[in-house]
């Protein structure tokens, strides 16, 4: 058994929980995913089953789209609703000011990873250090925000807003939202996050855990050609195909491109 699964991850599950579930349902040990979703988050998790796991690195680099909801004026240690409140102060701004702040984060930016994250520093994951009550300096990382749109806004003592975000690999949406709040003179935390696309793959085509349990993994496997449709491709002849299969290095030239 081999192929890709489009899974609609439920809230409360880690990405590893989903992988472990697919291992049990499929009976295949070699299972991986194309990009972590935090436990609170829901939505599209692309899972590879069997030999195609070697192709996951290509899917991990594709642009991803998220729908996010946030509350302003309240900060947590994890920057999402799963964390403990660390700051609370009312904020006053309108939708226009929010949209202006959001627009400054479109393009190539740098983000400092949150302490509650799986980023490793000195061989230890940041969230492990956070559990020990430690906070250390983190280097900023380059990411690209292709789209950042305000979908909804509710003013008040603690304003709430929803966003559509299209971003590169490695983007922390909870950090992005908190950075917007800082630009407005306060803090914020995520209250909901849903990944809707990974490249051209959509959560609309994803199966829930319950559906996978009822139908079996086989019924929902996606052909690798479809999963990798966003990647550049070229056509080669039978001789070169044989060489490729036998792991003989090919010299790829323009004549192969179609």
Helix, strand, coil content of the chain in percent (nearest 5)? 30, 30, 40
SS3 65: strand
Q: Which residue has the tokens 């080669």?
A: 236
- Nearest in space to 66 (alpha carbons), one of 108, 37, 95: 37
38 annotated active-site: yes
Q: Which of 8, 38, 80, 178 is catalytic?
A: 38
CA angle 142, 69, 159 (to 5 degrees): 110
- Token digits of residue 78: 């994890």
CA angle 57, 62, 65 (to 5 degrees): 135
Is residue 7 a contact partner of residue 209, using CB atoms and an 8 Å limit? yes
Is residue 134 a contact partner of residue 77, using CB atoms and an 8 Å limit? no
Residue 188 and residue 88: Cα distance in Å, rounded? 9
Residue 227 and residue 145: Cα distance in Å, rounded? 23
Is residue 102 a contact partner of residue 186, using CB atoms and an 8 Å limit? no
Partners of 106 in the β-ladder: none
Catalytic residue positions, numbered: 38
């Amino acid at each position: 058994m081999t192929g890709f699964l489009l899974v609609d991850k439920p809230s409360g599950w880690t990405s590893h929980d989903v992988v472990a579930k697919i291992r049990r349902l499929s009976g295949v040990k070699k299972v991986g995913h194309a990009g972590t979703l935090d436990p609170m988050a829901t939505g599209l998790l692309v899972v590879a089953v069997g030999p195609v796991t070697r192709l996951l690195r290509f899917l991990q680099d594709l642009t991803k789209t998220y729908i996010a909801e946030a509350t302003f004026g309240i900060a947590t240690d994890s920057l999402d609703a799963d964390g403990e409140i660390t700051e609370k102060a009312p904020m006053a701004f309108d939708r226009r000011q929010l949209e202006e702040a959001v627009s400054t984060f479109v393009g190539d930016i740098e983000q400092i990873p949150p302490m509650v994250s799986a980023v490793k520093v000195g061989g230890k994951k940041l969230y492990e250090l956070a559990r020990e009550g430690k906070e250390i300096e983190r280097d900023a990382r380059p990411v690209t925000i292709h789209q950042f749109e305000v979908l909804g806004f509710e003013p008040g003592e603690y304003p709430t807003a929803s966003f559509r975000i299209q971003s590169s690999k490695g983007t922390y949406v909870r950090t992005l939202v908190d950075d917007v709040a800082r630009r407005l003179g306060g803090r914020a935390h995520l209250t909901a996050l849903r990944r809707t696309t990974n490249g051209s793959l959509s959560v609309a085509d994803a199966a829930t855990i319950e559906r996978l349990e009822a139908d079996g993994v086989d019924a929902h496997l996606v052909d690798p050609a479809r999963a990798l449709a966003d990647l550049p491709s070229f056509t080669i002849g039978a001789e070169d195909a044989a060489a490729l299969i036998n792991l003989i290095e090919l010299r790829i030239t323009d004549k192969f491109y179609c």
